Structure 1
Amino acid sequence: MQCSSYDAGRCLSCAWMGRPYAHQLAAKQSLCAELLAAHDLTWLDPVASPESGFRNKAKMVVGGTVDDPTLGILDAAGAGVDLQDCGLYPASLAATFPVLAAFVTRARLEPYDVPARRGELKHLLVTQSPDGELMVRFVLRSQEAVARLRKHLPWLRAQLPRLVVASVNLQPEHKAVLEGPREILLTDDETLRMRVNGLDLHLRPQSFFQTNTDVAAALYRQAATWVDDAAPASVWDLYCGVGGFALHVADGTRDVVGVETSGEAVASATLTARDAGLARTTFHADDATAFALRAAPRDVPDLVVVNPPRRGIGADLAGWLDRSGVGRVVYSSCNAQSLARDLAAMPSLRPVRGRVLDMFPQTTHYEVVTLLERA
């Protein structure tokens, strides 16, 4: 893949841009295997991604002016760099960007000027479902523009007939934080349906979902295969998000519990479980480590799935897993360095299989999923 913005030095986010894709995939497999070399893993073939057009979500910094907004990133001086032609987005998602830029002008949404600390609109967050439906979130500094957004929303819906969910996120602080805690819905619909492997995962505005739908589907299938092979009677999915792993391993005969700090994500997962008729699958808004440490011995499951953020599960949860008696762990990680550290803290659980999944082509990042068995 070639990118004119990368070649011109306007955007260097994709550090491996221009490398042959086969070389990228082989390098990620090699780097991961090296980081986990202390363990005798059987590696499955890596999962490739389309080289371009794979992102289901755009996180666009809004710069420029009301009459000439930019959607993309900021340069070192805080000026907007327009990346509406970024090749990471499918054409159907990229087609929304000119409409949204026109909407910024129509609704008089003043882009936030970082150096001057003035303006209202900080980011546009756009998510597209596999069916082509859209969620658009406007990250604003205050509620000043909300009335104008509501006034002009019918125009936006006419231009984007696949728009299902629209909302305002309030982020009043001047710091490098993408969004704030408060969300104001502008539409009657609250969730975007992300159809993955035949499951309709409900995505609310503040819920996390993997940015590469095809590779996420492969990740869930791999985890479900390992879980089904083990045939556990009970499973926990810690850091469950909208329930991707929990819902894929639920078969109606085993007890599945998902734990996630985000109440929005838990509400989304609960709705999917209800729609799928999975009465023995439940979700709790809680801290994963605290939930595990409070568990009585009789409640310890046969198998645990963990999918933590980049920092990993940490010493406390790793220590609990090591001494808990859990027979197997499926560990999905977006950071093999923290994964290696966590594995070293669980000597009673031996990694036996692993697979690299290229969630983020053109970058150094990837997902790796491992199966651990009690030694």
Structure 2
Amino acid sequence: MECGYYDRDLCRSCTVIEVPYARQLARKQQLVRDLVDSHGEPRWLEPVASVEAGFRNKAKMVVAGKVGAPTLGILDRGGRGIDLRDCPLYPEPLTRAIHALAEFIARVRLLPYDVAKRRGELKHLIVTGNPDGRLMIRFVLRSTGQLAKIRDNTDLLRELVPHADVLSVNIQPEHKAVIEGAEEILLSRQGELIMPVNGIDLRVRPRSFFQTNTRVTEQLYRQVADWVDAVDPASVWDLYCGVGGFALHVAAPTREVAGTEISAEAVASARDTARAMGLPDEGPGSVRFLADDAAATPADLPGTPELAIVNPPRRGLEASLCAWLENSSVDHVVYSSCNATTLARDLGRMPSLRPVEARLLDMFPHTGHYEVAVLLRRG
């Protein structure tokens, strides 16, 4: 992939962009195989490649510059803004929206936050797009001082970005490297962005997590659904379920599925999708969601599932959850990981659950990051 920002040494976020993509993929495959194979030598399926450009469904832009002349992108080492509004990682609808939002910020005269001086208001702009070009736009402010400026000019905002379904302001008052705060102020009637994935209309709220590469995410969900259907368990737990992607993909008429996620917003979105799909929340064919810490799930849900899906953050599973899975009667586990190092550590904590099949899915071309899914079987 060609990138003028990289060539001009303005942005080095894509750390391996100079490596041919086929070689990037082969390196990642070898890395995860080296870490996983010592725990059982699973059969490795063909890696899932991404398109090389235009794959990101979310742009997180630092806002800098001056009133009337903002930059949207990153900061240099001196804290000055580097404008990246034409980054080739974003699909065309996101790029158009970023340009329009820069115009909105300039015309409304929002005050960019100055990191060095600790002054200003607008810190970040977060734009999420779905496959149909619909958008969720979030302004991250230091305080509510310029909230009225945004609220009073939503007509202009919708004129400039007509495909925006969800508009919100997030308040992040602290001077530290945290993109968003706990307070979200919704400015639109619609509070969820519909994210169609494999025929399921997932719902994403402003503070909910969703994978940044929608096409590869579709294949991840299909792969996990194929594994689950081949095992055909009567009961499934989806731990760290997010907005319910895995749980809703493995729903079946005779299967009971339960998902747990610590984010109440994500659980609310998952429940909304389940209701829209007409799925009951108890009995055969049910899918229900619980706002809970994944490590606490065994104590908070009755019984034991025949199969568990785990999709933890980079730090991996809690040791207590590994111990419970190891000593439980769970026959199969599907582990989706963005960090093969912690995945390998957790496999070492669960020696009775052996990897039998695995697949690399490249969510993040031009970087060292990836997703890997592994099917584990007891014995």
TM-score by length of 2: 0.97
Equivalent residue runs for 1:2-81 within 5 Å: 2-38=2-38, 39-81=40-82
Q: Secondary structure at the match of 1:237?
A: strand
Question: 1:173 deviation in Å?
Answer: 0.5
In the TM superposition, what is the alpha-carbon distance from 1:292 to its structure 2 partner?
Answer: 2.0
Secondary structure at 1:36's aligned position in 2?
helix
Among 305, 320, 329, the residue aligned to 2:324: 320
Deviation at 1:226, TM superposition (A): 0.2
Letter in 2 for 1:193: I
Shift of 1:193: 0.3
How far apart, CA to CA, are the structure 1 residues paired with 2:176 and 2:167? 24
Contact 1:106 1:152 (C-alpha < 8 Å) held by counterparts: no
Deviation string for 1:118-150 (max 9, x for gaps)? 100110000001111000000011011111101
Cα-to-partner distance string for 1:67-123 (whole Å, 9 max, x where unaligned): 110100111111111101111001121111111011111222111101100100110
Structure 2 equivalent of residue 302 of structure 1: 306
Larger CA deviation: 196-205 vs 27-36: 27-36
Aligned residues: 373
Give the corresponding residue for 2:283. none
Q: Does 1:330 align with 2:331?
A: no
Residue 363 to residue 150, structure 1, CA distance change in 2 (3 Å): same
Matches within 5 A, 1:97-136: 97-136=98-137
Question: Is the CA contact (8 Å cut-off) linking 1:234 and 1:254 kept in structure 2?
Answer: yes
In the TM superposition, what is the alpha-carbon distance from 1:294 to its structure 2 partner? 4.2
> 1:295 and 1:274, CA in 2 relative to 1: closer, same or farther beyond 3 A?
closer
Distance in 1 separating the partners of 2:104 and 2:300? 49
CA contact 2:104–2:160 (8 Å) conserved in 1: no
Residue 353 of structure 2: which of 346, 349, 352 is its match?
349
CA distance in 2, matches of 1:34, 1:120: 47
| Separation (CA, whole Å) in 1 of partners of 2:300 and 2:262 | 15
Structure 1 gap segments, 5+ residues each: none
- Say which SS state the counterpart of residue 122 (structure 1) adopts: strand
Identify which range, 220-229 or 58-67, moves more after superposition.
58-67
Q: Could you tell me how far apart the structure 2 residues matched to 1:293 and 1:51 are? A: 44
Residue 286 (1) aligns with residue 287 (2): no
Any residues of structure 2 matched to 1:127-146 within 5 Å, and which?
127-146=128-147
Letter in 2 for 1:289: A
Residue identity matched to 1:15: T
Aligned residue among 337, 358, 369 for 1:365: 369
Deviation at 1:18, TM superposition (A): 2.0
Q: Report how far residue 156 of structure 1 moved.
A: 1.0
Contact persistence 1:293–1:320 (CA under 8 A): no
Tell me the amino acid that sits aligned with residue 341 of structure 2: Q
- 1:324 and 1:138 mapped to 2: Cα distance? 45
- Which has the larger displacement, 285-294 or 139-148? 285-294
Deviations 1:224-259 (A, max 9, x none): 000000111110000000000000001232111110
Query: What does 1:172-191 correspond to in 2, within 5 Å?
Result: 172-191=173-192
Map of 1:88 onto structure 2? 89
**3-state DSSP class of the match of 2:153?**
helix
> In the aligned structure 2, how far is the partner of 1:268 from the partner of 1:143?
26
SS, match of residue 10 in structure 1: coil
Q: TM-score normalized by structure 1?
A: 0.98
Measure, in 2, the Cα distance between the counterparts of 1:196 and 1:256.
Answer: 19
**CA distance, structure 2, for counterparts of residue 355 and residue 119 of structure 1:** 46
Name the CA distance, whole Å, in 2 between partners of 1:33 and 1:180.
Answer: 38
Shift of 1:36: 1.4
Q: What code does the residue aligned with 1:12 have?
A: R
* Structure 2 unaligned regions, length at least 5: 281-285
What corresponds to 2:270 in structure 1? 269
Matching residue's letter, 2:42: L
- Alpha-carbon distance between aligned partners in 2 of 1:151 and 1:162, rounded to the nearest angstrom: 19
State the secondary structure of the residue aligned to 2:178: coil
- Whole-Å Cα distance in 2 between the matches of residues 186 and 173 of structure 1? 22
The one-letter code sitting in structure 1 at the alignment partner of 2:9 is G
Moved more, 193-202 or 141-150: 141-150
| Cα offset, 1:295, TM superposition | 4.5
Q: Answer with 30-39 or 184-193: which moved more.
A: 30-39
